Amino acid sequence: MKKIILVPLALFVVLLAFLAVGLRRDPHEIPSPLVNRPAPAFSLHTLQSGQSLFSPEAMRGKVWMLNVWATWCGACQEEHPVLVSFAREGLVPLVGLSYKEVQASDEPAGKPLSPEDKLAMARMRSQAWLRAKGDPYSLVAMDLDGRVGIDYGVYGVPETYVIDKNGVIRYKQIGAVTPALLEQKIRPLIQELNRS
């Protein structure tokens, strides 16, 4: 009988230990199955006009970052200054992936845009946006129909990937990159990857 009354206290101590550990975890952090897998290949038009296509193969041998964004995305606006000041350091190339820039609601009533018109419209809007807010990207690939986004498992915009010299995804951030995240996770990771 005497020992039984200690049970609630003991159970509570265990619970407390779990709560204390749980507090340090972020339930919103979703592990990506893509981490430590090769970055899916693609070949897309770039923002910088012309007919040349960009594909991740071109980045072989370099550590680089891929940032998924769009002008219609609110969180991208918050994230943008962080990226601009980070890119200014020139630590790694930052490639943009413009995701579904032209939305169905942008199309005139009942008349879907041709892929060429869509590309032109997306380029115009994105360039104006980057001119106004600063351009952190070494280049931007235009994922107009969002298919590359599907390959990369994009949940929402913005998302950011760190990819190593062998083209393997080493880190994925869902949601905006914050200065704290940049300093605590991304920068140490890049420095480590650059050394190897």
Partner 1 sequence: MIVELGHYALILALLVALLQGVLPLAGAATRNWHWQSLARPAAIMQFLLVSLAFAALAYAFQENDFSVRYVADHSNTRLPAMYRFAAVWGGHEGSLLLWLELLAVWTVSVAIFSRQMPLAVVARVISVLGLISTGFLLFVLTTSNPFERLFPVPMEGKDLNPLLQDPGLVIHPPMLYMGYVGFSVAFAFAIAALLAGRLDVAWARWSRPWTLVAWVFLSFGIGLGSWWAYTELGWGGWWFWDPVENASLMPWLVGTALIHSLMVTEKRGSFKAWTVLLAISAFSLSLLGTFLVRSGVLNSVHAFASDPTRGVFILIFLAVVVGSSLTLFAWRAGSVSLGAKMAWVSRESLLLSNSVLLVVATAAVLLGTLYPMVIDALNMGKLSVGPPYFNTVFVPLMVPLLFLMVLGVRARWRESTLQEWLHPLRSIGVAALLSGGLVALYFGWSWGVAGGMALGMWVVLGTLEPALERLRKPGKIPLSFFAMHCAHLGMAVLVIGVTLVKGYEIEKDVRIAAGDTVTLGDYSFELQRVTEVMGPNYVAKRAEVLVKRNGDTIATLYPEKRRYPSTAMPMTEAAIDTNLWRDLYVSLGEPLNNPAQEWSMRFYLKPFLSWIWLGVLMMVLGGLLAVSDKRYRRSVEARLSGVPA
Which chain residues interact with partner 1 by CB under 8 A? Answer: 1-2, 5-6, 8-9, 12-13, 15-16, 18-31, 74, 104-105, 107, 109-110
- Of 36 and 49, the one with the shorter C-beta distance to partner 1 is 36
Give the DSSP letter of residue 112.
P
Which lies closer to partner 1 via its Cβ, residue 102 or residue 140?
102
CB of 4 to partner 1, least distance (A): 9
One-letter amino acid at 192 equals: E
Instruction: Sort 124 into a burial class: Cβ within 10 Å, 0-12 / 13-18 / 19+.
Output: exposed
Q: In what order do the strands lie in the sheet with 64-69?
A: 139-143, 94-99, 64-69, 159-163, 169-174
Distance CA 74, CA 59 (A): 29
Cβ(132)–Cβ(103) under 8 Å? Answer: no
Q: Which residue, 45 or 172, has its beta carbon nearer to partner 1? A: 172
CB of 111 to partner 1, least distance (A): 10
Nearer to partner 1, 104 or 196 (CB): 104
Report d(CA 111, CA 104) in Å as an integer: 10
Q: C-beta of 92: minimal distance to partner 1 in Å?
A: 28
In whole angstroms, the minimum distance from the beta carbon of 27 to partner 1 comes to: 4
